[in-house]
Amino acid sequence: MNFVFCSSSELDITDSASCTTVFEKHQPDFCINAAAYTAVDKAENEPEKAHAINVTGAQNVAAVCKIHDTVLLHVSTDFVFDGEKTSPYTEEDRSNPTGVYGQTKLDGEKEVAAVWEKHFIVRTSWVYSQFGNNFMKTMLRLASERDTLSVVNDQIGTPTHAVDLAEVILKIIESGKKAYGIYHFSNEGQCSWYDFAQKIFEVNAVSIQVNPIPSTCYPTPAKRPKYSVLDKTKIKEVFGLDIKKWEQSLEPFPSVV
């Protein structure tokens, strides 16, 4: 496989002309759209910006994929659900976002499905890696600055290592299957943010006191799903996947400058 990686300055998905220019140059067989407005709380005050990236952007990418007969793999989120269930969410469960971020991601999914049939929408959750802004990096940074931390323990979900997500997207491509539609993927198992933090510190040999607190003690502009574990039955059966438990994928954090 040959890959072309585009930054937001090289490919502005909110600008259809930018999408056209890049696609005409590279003529891709597949497009992985991992671009998104993901600042969950800021989205409450910047709904237009979130909509431009998550909805209009998704529509633009789908439209140019259709013109070039490019298979689209679009990354979405567990935030399309309200978190009121107590068992893992399947692809058939009713979506009901509780905030701007989740709503724009759901609307983006709908645009992709309406514009171009050759699509795979992959919903995922609690993604972390050594790059970008994510919970693992935040916890390790705060641990270097403080003696104690308080982390919410009443929001339940599943961490997903970005490498595992990337590998699954490549497996979908390599499979050659045309089983288009929505799929759920995360690592296996479930935990609270408090549990996740504890494990991060354990794996990285960080000694710090972590206190569990309810969400009511840490109010945020956007409401989070209380429970957003994703059912991976469909993606495992269609693509023959063996998915790692979230604890197995959590490795010591490398120093990145």
Distance CA 212, CA 149 (A): 9
Residue 174: inside a domain:
yes
Residue 128: inside a domain:
yes
Residue 54, pLDDT > 70, answer yes
pTM for the predicted model, two decimal places: 0.95
Question: Average pLDDT of 186-212?
Answer: 97
Residue 151, pLDDT > 80, answer yes
Residue 256's pLDDT band (cuts 50, 70, 90): very low
Q: For this structure, is 183 an active site residue?
A: no
CA dihedral angle for residue 221, residue 55, residue 75, residue 256, rounded to 10 degrees: -60
Residue 119: inside a domain:
yes
Q: What six digits make up the tokens of 226?
A: 């209380």
Structural domain of residue 55, as residue ranges?
Answer: 16-132+159-190+228-245
Residue 223: inside a domain:
no
Residue 257, pLDDT > 60, answer no
Are 121 and 109 in contact, with CB atoms under 8 Å apart?
yes
Residue 218: inside a domain:
no
- Return the CATH number at 83: 3.40.50.720
Provide the number of structural domains found in the chain: 1
Rg (CA), the chain: 18
Question: Average pLDDT of 67-75?
Answer: 98
Q: Which of 101, 183, 194, 227 is catalytic?
A: 101
Residue 210: inside a domain:
no
Residue 195: inside a domain:
no
Residue 20: inside a domain:
yes
The dihedral through the CA atoms of 242, 243, 247, 252 has a sign that is positive
Distance CA 35, CA 175 (A): 23
Q: How many CA atoms lie within 13 A of 190 on its CB side?
A: 16
Distance of alpha carbon 31 from the chain centroid: 16
Q: Give the Å distances, CA to CA, from 25 to 5, 19, 52, 187.
A: 13, 10, 24, 36
Distance CA 128, CA 145 (A): 21
